[in-house]
A and B are shown apart, each in its own frame.
Chain A
Amino acid sequence: MNLRCSVPALTLLASCLGLTPLLGQGPAEASGPSAADVVFMSGMIGHHAQAVLMAGWAESHGASPTLQRYCRKVVVSQRDEIGLMKRWLADHHEPLPDSTLMYGRSMPGMGAMLMPGMLTAAALAQLDSARGADWDHLFLEDMIRHHQGAITMVQQLFNTPGGGKGVVFQFATDISTDQTAEITRMRQMLLTLP
């Protein structure tokens, strides 16, 4: 973040306005993003990438029309959010994670790398091999856990000092709200699976 107006200039401006006591700070991100935010944004890319991969199978794996529609929205939503996270990391000169490494698929046995709620390579393979109503069932159970994991990640972020600054605050809050609503929807779908 480039701080265009120096603090002395702001103070001068403030004193002209009689607002000196109120202008004590420059932009919040002047000193760069917090470590917690970088960890969250990097980690969530892999988390989202796995969700996009899973939801992307709906059509080819014979999901019900209702679930296919739901999955199309998950793909659009989370793919856009991956774009936002990558943009944020690039803007802050942070390295981009290789999201394929985080699928859990290309690195079997590296369970420790998985973010909360993510499927292991074995679980992912099991979902990939299911078809039709079996796939619907497995997907809903897996994705509910996956979403719960994302909500856990948001909670962990906000429990960390310096976590959730600027746009990350809004973004993380949105993820939590969206995915909470989606869990309710998926539980309902699970109940009425044919």
Chain B
Amino acid sequence: MFSGSFLRRSALAAGLIVAGVSAAKAQTPSPDPRVGLKAGIYNAQQALWNMRVVSATARPAGFVIDSAPGDFNYIDSDLAFDGKYVIQGNFHGILIWDVSQPAHPALVTAFPCPGFQNDVSVYGHLMFTSVESGDSHRDCGGERIADTVSADRVRGVRIFDISDIKNPKILTNVQTCRGSHTHTVVTSPADKANIYVYVSGSSFVRSPNELAGCSGMTPDKDPNSEQFRIEVIQVPLAHPEQAKVVSKPDILAGLTQAGTHPEAATDLARQKARVDSARAAGGFIAQVEGRDVIIGGRFLSMQLDSIVKARGGTGTPTTADTATFRTNMQGIVDKIVGAGPTQGPRTGPVQCHDITVYPAIGLAGGACGGYGLLLDIKDPAHPRRIAAASDSNFAFWHSATFSNDGSMVLFTDEWGGGLAPRCRATDDPKWGADALFRIKDSTLMFQSYFKMPAAQTEQENCVAHNGSLVPVPGRTIMVQGWYQGGISVFDWTDPAHPKEIAFFDRGPMDSTKLVNAGSWSAYWYNGMIVSSEIGRGLDILELTPSDLLSQNEIDAAKLVQVAQQNVQDQQTIVWPSSPVVAQAYLDQLARSGMTAAQVTETRAGLAKAEKATGAARKNALTKLASQLNGMAAAAGDPAKVRALASVISGLAK
């Protein structure tokens, strides 16, 4: 349907300049080739390390203003995956690409349907898009709506039938009070008749005259306020057109603690020592969200002065005044920090930005303004908060990614909202970064930060943004978009010491001014890394082997194939039984965990067993597995040796 001339895919290949990377493949190149790249829209200089560009395809006509490539009404947004198709949101509509030939993505559908930010998800033959902006029309077209109240306005989640991939059909628009900035499709192991959609809206609450029941008042004035809540849409799979909001859980209620810094165990111990010594000295200790806080002298004297005044006295507060304060202290503090259901305006975030669910472990990570939350989602219609983290280095908790075993979670900080250059040499590497946590006994234990390390210019919007796991067995590896900071691949198997292992970056769009562009999302999908480039279209890349990531590890990752993928609905990665998976583990054990001799011996044993057939093969593999299990306890990495043994046992079956 689309002619070749429609796709200006060749434009990007022309004038491509790659900055030289001559450093050893295991060492981050120095100087960093990402620094100082030449500007250009389709011919910017590029830097690549342990990755290669498979294709780069510009946005089609109608979805880009060539004279203003950063025009906000036409920028690319998030991605969803459906078989051979990549579904790409654009603020002007939806683009669907056939990527069965990754070197030549073919545009299948360009469906105009303006709305910010057209975040996309897919489930079966259903496609979902987010609309938050206030001027989108219910039928995807028509005039942009300017009236403050209009029956034609859509803010919420659109649901399409994409049985005919070339002709998406609107089934329904599920209207929500704040619209939908992002949304998360939630599959439930317990409920096969429905799927759920968690709606995060980061904008204003619309008028009740437009959508009944919408209230933007604070909860102390209106208990049904939309604030401090998310919306949950239930989609009956037999009748998706009947999808509706079924609950508005107030998962943000009572968040009052503004952490100064993520608390590592040592920080917690230090704080406890301070509180204990203040208490012993007769200090004033109040509780803020379950934690002890030492009341400062200034706040104390202000409060004492007002107690003196209240009893009509003057001068120095008496012992009785101090006692009065001590009695009422907790109530006063609650009022100041906004705790409690009705005690004055609540503080804390009134809405979430994005939620990543992991149904197999019953958890979700909510990125909600000033907080990162851990939610229990076993009852998908009624998620509830079980832990929260805040951090003075984090401006804006943006999104979450769990490790495959669910023992760790990574939150991103979109400091500056993605519109600002926040990766300059002068920007603190703890600001606008990823924060890595271990999850232990339903608490979030801070481990470290990771920020794409190459300094970017004033002309490049750059901050942590969307990414996904790269399914390398035995390691936790993530690929992540950093807007015009490019794409970074890093290992956070040890969350206290994340390490970059590959990258891709382009120079700025324009050397004289900031033009919005860069990787909105970079996700692994069935062996490819697909990146939605805000201003330059669709990029497909692949990892190349290095001392930091072997060919076996890449091949093992490529074995993982899924039929559909929404990155924010995290599914457990399962590797098929394959010799490649065993070889990937062996490559890792060769780096550390087994002696060189043990690795050589195991490889030889595996090769020999694989050459045999029938019962001989089975016996050899079983024997090898049991030998490995026997030596595991004494090995440098017992868990990995056992994982290897388990793969080899699997091969025997």
Contact = CB atoms under 8 A, between A and B. Distances in A.
B298 A194 contact: yes
Contacts of A14: 112
A191 B62 contact: no
B370 A185 contact: yes
Nearest to B6: A13
Given A29-B73, A81-B420, A19 B111 contact: yes
Interface residues of A, number: 65
Interface string B124-140: 00000000111100011
A71 to B, nearest CB: 12
Contacts of A60: none
A86 B315 CA distance: 52
A23 B203 contact: no
Interface stretch (B81-89, B254-262, B589-597): B254-262
Contacts of A185: 258, 370, 392
Contacts of B425: none
A173 B202 contact: yes
B419 A170 contact: yes
Nearest to A183: B347
Contacts of B296: 191-194
A165 B116 CA distance: 10
A193 B299 contact: yes
A188 B142 CA distance: 48
Interface string B295-336: 111110000000000000000000000000000000001001
A112 interface: no
Contact of A181 (B1, B66, B257, B349): B349
A27 B417 contact: no
Contact of A158 (B61, B66, B134, B288): B134
Contact of A180 (B65, B134, B350): B350
A174 B369 contact: no
Interface stretch (B143-151, B469-477, B491-499): B143-151
A188 B257 contact: yes
B417 A66 contact: no
A73 B431 contact: yes
Contacts of A159: 148
B349 A180 contact: yes
Interface in B375-432: 392, 395-396, 415-417, 419-422, 426-428, 431
A94 interface: no
B395 A178 contact: yes
Interface in B329-377: 333, 336-338, 347-351, 353, 369-370
Contact of A188 (B337, B350, B431): B337
Given A13-B61, A80-B420, A181-B395, A192 B295 contact: yes
B448 to A, nearest CB: 19
Contacts of B293: 191-192
Given A174-B417, A184-B347, A192 B294 contact: yes
A91 to B, nearest CB: 8
A155 interface: yes
A22 B141 contact: yes
Given A177-B396, A180-B370, A167 B72 contact: yes
B111 A137 contact: no
Contact of A184 (B112, B140, B256, B428): B256
Contact of B73 (A19, A21, A154, A166): A166
Contacts of A69: 392
A70 interface: yes
B440 interface: no
Contacts of A4: 65-67
Contacts of A129: none
A188 B288 contact: yes
Given A1-B71, A155-B204, A188-B288, A169 B1 contact: no
Nearest to A186: B258
Contacts of A2: 65, 67-68
A181 B133 contact: no
B61 A184 contact: no
Interface residues of B, number: 77
A23 B112 CA distance: 7
Interface string A1-43: 1111100001001100111011111011100001000000000
B445 interface: no
A24 B141 contact: yes
A82 to B, nearest CB: 11
Interface string A98-122: 0000000000000000000000000
A180 B72 contact: no
Contacts of A73: 395, 428, 431
A111 B203 CA distance: 30
A165 B140 CA distance: 17
A23 B148 CA distance: 23
A164 B132 CA distance: 11
A158 B298 contact: no
Given A174-B417, A188-B337, A76 B427 contact: yes
Contact of A17 (B110, B147, B416, B516): B110
Contacts of A27: 65, 71, 73-74
B97 to A, nearest CB: 16
Interface in B57-104: 61-62, 65-68, 71-74
Contacts of B514: 84, 87
B288 A161 contact: no
A180 B369 contact: yes
Contacts of B518: none
Contact of B112 (A19, A77, A191): A19
Contacts of B114: 25, 28
A96 interface: no
B464 interface: no
Contact of B513 (A24, A80, A87, A166): A87
Interface string B201-231: 0111000000000000000000000000000
B113 interface: yes
Contacts of B428: 73
A133 interface: yes
Given A73-B395, A191-B333, A158 B146 contact: no
A171 interface: yes
Contacts of A177: 202, 349, 351, 353, 369, 396, 417
Contacts of B139: 21-22
Given A80-B422, A154-B204, 18 more contacts: A2-B65, A17-B110, A22-B111, A22-B140, A24-B142, A27-B74, A80-B416, A165-B135, A166-B73, A169-B132, A170-B419, A174-B396, A174-B417, A177-B369, A178-B395, A188-B257, A191-B293, A191-B336
Interface of B: 1, 61-62, 65-68, 71-74, 110-114, 116, 132-135, 139-144, 146-148, 167, 181, 202-204, 256-258, 260, 286, 288, 293-299, 333, 336-338, 347-351, 353, 369-370, 392, 395-396, 415-417, 419-422, 426-428, 431, 513-514, 516
30 contacts: A5-B62, A18-B167, A21-B139, A21-B141, A22-B140, A25-B144, A27-B73, A28-B114, A77-B416, A84-B420, A87-B514, A154-B204, A158-B134, A160-B148, A167-B516, A171-B419, A173-B132, A174-B419, A180-B350, A180-B369, A181-B349, A181-B369, A181-B396, A184-B370, A185-B258, A187-B337, A191-B286, A191-B293, A191-B295, A192-B295
Task: Enumerate the 9 nearest inter-chain pairs by beta-carbon distance, A residue then B residue, closest first.
Answer: A181-B370, A174-B417, A167-B72, A193-B298, A188-B258, A193-B296, A185-B258, A24-B141, A158-B204
